[in-house]
Structure 1
Amino acid sequence: MAGDPQTGISIMQMDAGLDTGPVLSTARIPIASDETGATLHDKLSDLGAQLLIDTLRAPLRATPQSEQGATYAARLTRETGRIDWSLPAGTLERHIRALTPWPASFTTYQDIVLKIGGAEIIKGASSARPGTVLDDALTIKCGRDALRLTHIQRPGKAMLARDAFLRGWSVPRGSCVE
């Protein structure tokens, strides 16, 4: 969600604190530009399993963690997924990918919650206010640039590609999402 180019796994020895024990091994992988929370989860799961096996086979070398710069990630809740259309399109596109499949990014249109499963950045300026639907292809103005929604889900329905969604439901140009 932060736009980091890489992430990784650490195998650590447990101690009395929360995530404070010495590190036994680490591994890193790049974060692809189309990575979602689900695909990254699967990659890290595989990486972590292999790293654990490799760590248990090797002589243990514990490296104390530095407390300097240590932070805790905020807890994800359903509300974390609410889209703030005043943010730049690039930030929102990462938000959508990071929170797929859970807790899922969402917006509302006419008091109906719409989950957003994918979007693409559309460069360019528009004088419309953030949250305004700019065209019939579900392009929505952001604080900077715009997002064209590619996958949308109505309550109780399946996630659909934009074209299939628009065949069954209309979101007219000029309307606003929140």
Structure 2
Amino acid sequence: MNLTRRRSLRSAAAALLLAAAAGCSSPDGRQTAAVPRPDGATDALCQELDERLPQRLAGLERDDPRPESALTSGWGSPAIILRCGVPRPGAMADPDAEGVEADGVGWLVEQPGDGSFRFTTTLRRAYVEVSLPAEHVPKGLVPLSDLAPAITEAVPEGIAD
């Protein structure tokens, strides 16, 4: 296989992975989300979080993405997607990274460039990522505020491994 072909395959694989992480639709019309693979302690925190998550988020009904997992949740269409147990984002090492706080929970803010936002908890024992599609950006921090009680109860403050 030549170098150009290898790059094309890697690019295609990366595009598929990004699409899955961002939340696409499955054949039955439900969103999909890449399921994180955390260690056992983090998985236990995420299981606890899943049990505490609200059925409604920013006025949207819960409709979890495929494949079904306690590590992923969704609300609305296009879905606001929550993934628990994600790896530490590289942007957390950037001293100029943007952050916000919503009801006592700190979040790293990333803007992928398509009008959407991605938020990842900071100073918690597990990284919780929330992808907010451009269509839901006018809701502001309401989704993060709605999630704060569940995160505060299930994911203790601290530094994730």
What TM-score do the two structures reach when normalised by structure 1? Answer: 0.24
What TM-score do the two structures reach when normalised by structure 2? Answer: 0.26
Relative to its length, the structure with more helix (as a share) is: 2
User: Which structure has the greater CA radius of gyration?
Assistant: 1
Structure showing greater relative contact order (alpha-carbon pairs closer than 8 Å, 6 or more residues apart): 2
